[in-house]
Amino acid sequence: DQQVKQNSPSLSVQEGRISILNCDYTNSMFDYFLWYKKYPAEGPTFLISISSIKDKNEDGRFTVFLNKSAKHLSLHIVPSQPGDSAVYFCAASVGGSGNTGKLIFGQGTTLQVKP
Amino acid sequence: GAGVSQSPSNKVTEKGKDVELRCDPISGHTALYWYRQSLGQGLEFLIYFQGNSAPDKSGLPSDRFSAERTGGSVSTLTIQRTQQEDSAVYLCASSTNNQPQHFGDGTRLSIL
């Protein structure tokens, strides 16, 4: 039972354009969501998070949108850069911020940004 | 070091052998987590420590898997009688004060 789903295994965009990565979840108890970026042979690196009391959080080129009624969140990267090419994981937790318990991860989306 | 450190970075062993994986969390981080990532999959939660206690062991796939944490710092994940399906990247993360989890680079475990 996949509680967090990233239905697009891969995404390719041109440098300078917007990248939109999507994530769906089924557990209505999730109240904290995170995006991690992963390069090959490295551990995931935290990118941005959002609490369920918000519908948008922005950090530089990265914005996360949360639609609780649709149980959907998305990560927007504007403008996309070749260094953004990596695997992006969506994750969710119950009970607030990410250190109080386990994270449930999606399968990941591989983003390729072409120069 | 400043980050989460895991050793070994790679481990190849024969089916049936026991393996021990080590995680050094960021200094001062009270929470420690183990995950694994099988080929083409997302990260799968294994176990969570708060201090030396493990309030959530729900992700351990079988009784061949165990973990401990001593001194509120280093943790070891032990897999007994390894099977080929245990092959994966085992990732450790730590966190504190309601901050996001920080991950190490993982141990790539291959069972022949």
Cis preceding-peptide flag for B25 (omega within 30 of 0): no
Higher pLDDT, B40 or B88: B88
Q: What is the pLDDT of residue A96?
A: 63
**pLDDT tens digits, one per residue of B28-46:** 999 999 999 998 788 999 9
Residue of B95, B101, B108 to mutate for A, most A C-beta atoms under 10 A: B101
Nearest CA-CA distance, residue B32 and chain A, Å? 9
CATH number for the domain that contains residue A17? 2.60.40.10
* For range B83-112, the mean pLDDT: 94
Region for A31 from its dihedrals, namely left if φ exceeds 0, alpha if ψ lies in -120 to 50, beta otherwise: alpha
Contacts of B91 in chain A (CB under 8 A): 43-44
Query: Is residue B111 in some structural domain?
Result: no
Query: Is residue B76 in some structural domain?
Result: yes
Query: Is residue B105 in some structural domain?
Result: no
Give the structural domain span for A13: 4-114
Q: What is the pLDDT of residue A1?
A: 72
Q: What is the pLDDT of residue A100?
A: 63
Query: Is residue B69 in some structural domain?
Result: yes
Domain tally, chain A: 1
- Low-confidence residues in chain A, pLDDT < 50: none
**pLDDT tens digits, one per residue of B14-25:** 999 999 999 999
For chain A, list the strands marked E by DSSP. 4-5, 10-14, 19-25, 32-38, 45-51, 56-59, 62-67, 72-77, 86-93, 104-105, 109-114
Query: Is residue B40 in some structural domain?
Result: yes
Give the structural domain span for B28: 5-99
Interface A–B counts its CB contacts (< 8 A) at 67
